[in-house]
Amino acid sequence: MSSRPFGVAVLGFGWMGHAHSRAYARVRQHFPDLGLTPRLVLVAEPDSGRGEDARERYGFADWTPDWRQVLADDRVEAVSVTAPNFLHREIAVAVAAAGKHLWIEKPVGLSAEDAQAVAEAVRRNRVQTSVGFNYRNAPAVAHARELIATGQLGKVTDAAFRLLSDYAAHPLGALSWRFERAQGGAGVLGDLVSHGVDLVRHLLGDIDTLVADTATFIAERPRPDGLASHFAVAESGVLGPVENEDYLSCLLRLRGGARASLRASRVAVGEQNNYGFEIHGTRGSVSWDFRRMGELAVCVGGNYANQPSSTLYVGPAHGDFGAFQPGAGVAMGYDDLKVIEAAGFLRAIAGSGVAPGGGGTSESRSSHATIEDAVQSALALEAMVRSQHTGQWEAVTDTPSIGRGTAGPA
């Protein structure tokens, strides 16, 4: 299939800027039928060392310290926004207004109001979007979704989702923007819980009501000298207050009648990216652990009690696995999920059947997340913040509560 060059830019060149750049570089190797060949035109990064690194390491044509220059560059047709959360709304709205397609990292701003503003700009300017809910792209998750959708688990009754990490467990972990409410929003909610909400919705459908509890366990952290990732330790920095949440525990009632729990922590000592779920239905169950990404524990049949569970090793029949490996049991990695994300984005732009705000129609095309998914995730986070303050069950509404988003008072 012929493929035309397609200019892309990346705004912000931290860890996720690297991940997007690698995904663009690899995507046609795995998905040669997209009709577009990404060309790395421009990276916007205020730090000159990072900007030069992007050009030298990844082959960007140029870099600029000012993201606004990207909007005026006619070579750029699509933009990846991998900047800090507090910049998402301003940048993403401007990207859409410039008529450029948008691939943006979650949670898309600091609040549901921010995410909705981006969604409105996208609709108004009729551009395509992708949002970084990468865990839904795992082939095992795609197969779990298929088992649920085809009724092989019966009616889903209950589920447990977890996103436990230790990246902020060190008490001297640097006080980066992620720990400040004005720049990072509601802490672990935007960082990890947004992924959990997306998995709940992707697998089980919309959330009706919820009740949540949050906590901040490390009240102060040292300020870093210069730029710092959320894995950095700053042993000699001056202490400053942590303004947002380390931990969340939440009970969910789904519109389909199922019950679920969602637990997330960024300070869970001993837990390195312990992300996953267990889902039970009236006839069977499935469970998945991100650290064993290619495995899905499946229990199906008609015996109910004493029914055995077996491990399924995903293969070419599951999700987009076949684009990477020819046989079951060959491991995939985190970056592969971002390649699948890039493919969904480019496929939508090329007009191959994925509409704005929608997913595909088969197991291998069902993972593409858009700005509409980000809005729904943000609305659930907003309800969690309300519940934490009221101590009551809160409804997940269809519109943001202006001024009461995830960046509200602690």
For tokens 């599951």, name the residue.
318
pLDDT at residue 227, as a whole number: 59
DSSP code of residue 349: H
Q: What is the pLDDT of residue 296?
A: 98
- CATH architecture of the region 4-134: 3-Layer(aba) Sandwich (3.40)
- Segments making up each domain of the chain, as ranges: 4-134, 136-333+368-390
* pLDDT, position 398: 85
pLDDT of residue 354: 38
**pLDDT tens digits, 131-189:** 999 999 999 999 999 999 999 999 999 999 999 999 999 999 999 889 999 998 999 99
Of 254, 277, 312, give the one whose Cα is nearest residue 196: 277
Q: What pLDDT shows up at residue 402? A: 59
Domain 136-333+368-390 in this protein, CATH class:
alpha beta
pTM, 2 dp: 0.92
Q: Which two tokens stand for residue 139?
A: 């082939």
Name the burial class of residue 208, with classes exposed (0-12), middle (13-18) and buried (19+) by CB atoms within 10 angstroms of its CB: middle
Q: What whole-number distance in Å separates Cα of residue 158 and Cα of residue 195?
A: 19
pLDDT tens digits in sequence order for the chain, 410 residues long: 678 999 999 999 999 999 999 999 999 999 999 999 999 999 999 988 988 999 999 999 999 999 999 999 999 999 999 999 999 999 999 999 999 999 999 999 999 999 999 999 999 999 999 999 999 999 999 999 999 999 999 999 999 999 999 999 999 999 988 999 999 899 999 999 999 999 999 999 999 999 999 999 999 999 987 656 667 787 778 999 999 999 999 999 999 999 999 999 999 999 999 999 999 999 999 999 999 999 999 999 989 999 999 999 999 999 999 999 999 999 999 999 999 999 999 999 998 443 333 333 334 345 899 999 999 999 999 999 999 999 999 999 988 875 544 444 33
Looking up tokens 């995507």 gives 27
Dihedral sign for Cα atoms in the order 271, 179, 248, 103 = negative
Angle at which helix 112-125 crosses helix 88-97, to 10 degrees, equals 10
User: What integer pLDDT is reported at residue 230 of this predicted model?
Assistant: 65
Which among 280, 275, 290, 274 is positioned nearest to 259, based on CA atoms?
280
- The amino acid occupying position 59 is G
- What local confidence, expressed as pLDDT, does residue 234 receive? 74
> Among residues 296, 337, 333, which one has the least CA distance to residue 148?
296
pLDDT for res 1: 62
Structure token digits, residue 26: 């690899």
Torsion of CA 346, 347, 352, 356, to 10 degrees: -80
Residues 221 and 151: their CA atoms lie apart, in Å, by 48
**Rounded Cα distance, 407 and 391, in Å:** 18
